[in-house]
């Protein structure tokens, strides 16, 4: 895994370069939009849409809920460990708590050995029980992923058999490299998302390889998981989780690696106020503004090798934090 810059320099670099952005609009919205990777042209929305999503506090009953998942450490597979995932989830957690619309007991964090399939299902059920119509939900997942294979190394589409390519996309949990069943398929995740009633749902996927979370898996590392191209994995996964009212952001696309947790770090910085500063300056850091903020910096810090992807099916801007 390649690292281009110490994450401690991010704020300093942003502060220094911001003056240049104000004077020379080289990374304005129009320029960014022409370079973004489109997973499916009919679904991808790039521009932030102007909206009036003023935070009204608890008086209107609107609540914000989050499930933040970073596996980072894998049972019996130290070569697959990614410490940057754990740092990124902690940073996002801290960032959310700086905003007045987020409460500590409305955010659950799942990490390392707790991030098993059963642990994830338990937390998804918690989300379903707590969130309601009118609320906003944020789901962040960072782990390895790939396509499921059976014992004969053939494509494996678990019921319901609905995959055009014959096999399910999976997210690998703590025991996933050692035990194939400790992974969550796209069908399973879609099943739980279907029960969520929140008016807006933001899902962020980030990891160490293309498509947001597809890591190259070494031969023999797991006979049940096969690495696949970013384009195949991203399209297959997003086909299942995209829906009205959702914004899905992925760290890269089109045969690319994701370097460290660069994308996650800049998304967190966006939610911390930089997104609105580079956006419409209405005091709200929306999912769309944060993506637009994170995109050029991710491209810059990855030396042009990583291009994040967004699918925006939310009407207006989906507010995440407030200044």
Q: Print burial letters for 147-163: b (CB count within 10 Å at least 16), e (below 16).
A: bbbeeeeeebbeeeeeb
Q: What's the start-to-end Cα distance of the chain, in Å?
A: 34
For 216, which DSSP code? P
Helices and strands: H and E segment counts in the chain: 9, 12
pLDDT recorded at residue 93: 98
Nearest-angstrom CA–CA distance, 31 and 98: 31
The answer to the question of residue 57 being in a domain is no
CA quadruple 299, 302, 303, 308: dihedral sign? negative
Strands 145-148 and 284-286: unpaired
For residue 219, the model assigns a pLDDT of 33
DSSP characters over 189-207: HHHHHTT---SEEEEEE--
pLDDT at 55: 58
Provide the number of structural domains found in the chain: 1
Report pLDDT for 11: 60
CATH number at 298 reads 3.40.50.1460
**Does 267 reside within a domain?**
yes
Whether 122 is covered by a domain: the verdict is yes
Domain with 72 in it: 7-24+63-322
Give how far the C-alpha of residue 13 lies from the chain's centroid of Cα atoms, to the nearest Å: 24
Domain assignment present for 52: no
Determine, yes or no, domain membership for 51. no
Name the stretches of the chain with pLDDT < 50: 1-3, 18-53, 59, 150, 154-166, 208-231, 233-234, 236, 240
For the chain, how long is the longest CA-to-CA vector? 59
The per-residue pLDDT for range 199-252, each reduced to its tens digit, is: 999 999 886 433 333 333 333 344 444 444 444 544 545 554 556 788 988 887
- For residue 226, tell me if it sits in a domain: yes
In a domain, 258, yes or no: yes
């Amino acid at each position: 895994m390649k690292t281009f810059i110490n994450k401690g320099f991010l704020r300093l670099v942003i502060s220094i370069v911001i003056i240049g952005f104000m004077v020379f609009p080289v990374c304005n919205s129009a320029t960014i939009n022409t370079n973004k990777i489109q997973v499916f042209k009919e679904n991808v929305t790039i521009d932030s849409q102007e909206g009036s999503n003023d935070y009204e506090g608890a008086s209107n009953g609107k609540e914000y809920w989050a499930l933040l998942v970073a596996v980072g450490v894998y049972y019996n597979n130290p070569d697959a460990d990614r410490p940057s995932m754990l740092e990124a989830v902690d940073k996002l957690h801290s960032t959310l708590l700086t905003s007045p619309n987020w409460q500590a007991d409305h955010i659950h964090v799942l990490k390392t050995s707790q991030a098993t399939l059963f642990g994830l299902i338990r937390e998804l059920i918690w989300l379903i029980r707590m969130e309601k119509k009118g609320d906003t939900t944020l789901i962040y997942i960072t782990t390895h992923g790939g396509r499921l294979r059976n014992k004969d190394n053939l494509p494996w589409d678990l019921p319901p058999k609905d995959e055009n390519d014959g096999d399910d996309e999976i997210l690998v949990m703590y025991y996933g490299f050692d035990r194939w069943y400790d992974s969550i398929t796209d069908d399973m995740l879609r099943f739980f998302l279907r029960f969520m009633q929140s008016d807006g749902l933001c899902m962020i996927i980030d990891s160490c390889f293309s498509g947001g979370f597809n890591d190259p898996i070494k031969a023999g590392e797991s006979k049940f998981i096969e690495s696949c191209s970013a384009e195949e994995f991203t399209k297959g996964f997003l086909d299942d989780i995209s829906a009205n009212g959702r914004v899905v952001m992925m760290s890269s696309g089109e045969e690319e690696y994701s370097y460290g947790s660069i994308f996650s770090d800049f998304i967190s910085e966006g939610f911390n106020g930089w997104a609105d500063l580079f956006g419409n300056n209405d005091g709200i850091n929306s999912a769309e503004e944060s993506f637009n903020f994170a995109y050029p910096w991710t491209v810059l810090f990855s030396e042009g090798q990583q291009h994040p992807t967004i699918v925006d099916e939310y009407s207006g801007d989906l507010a995440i934090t407030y200044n």
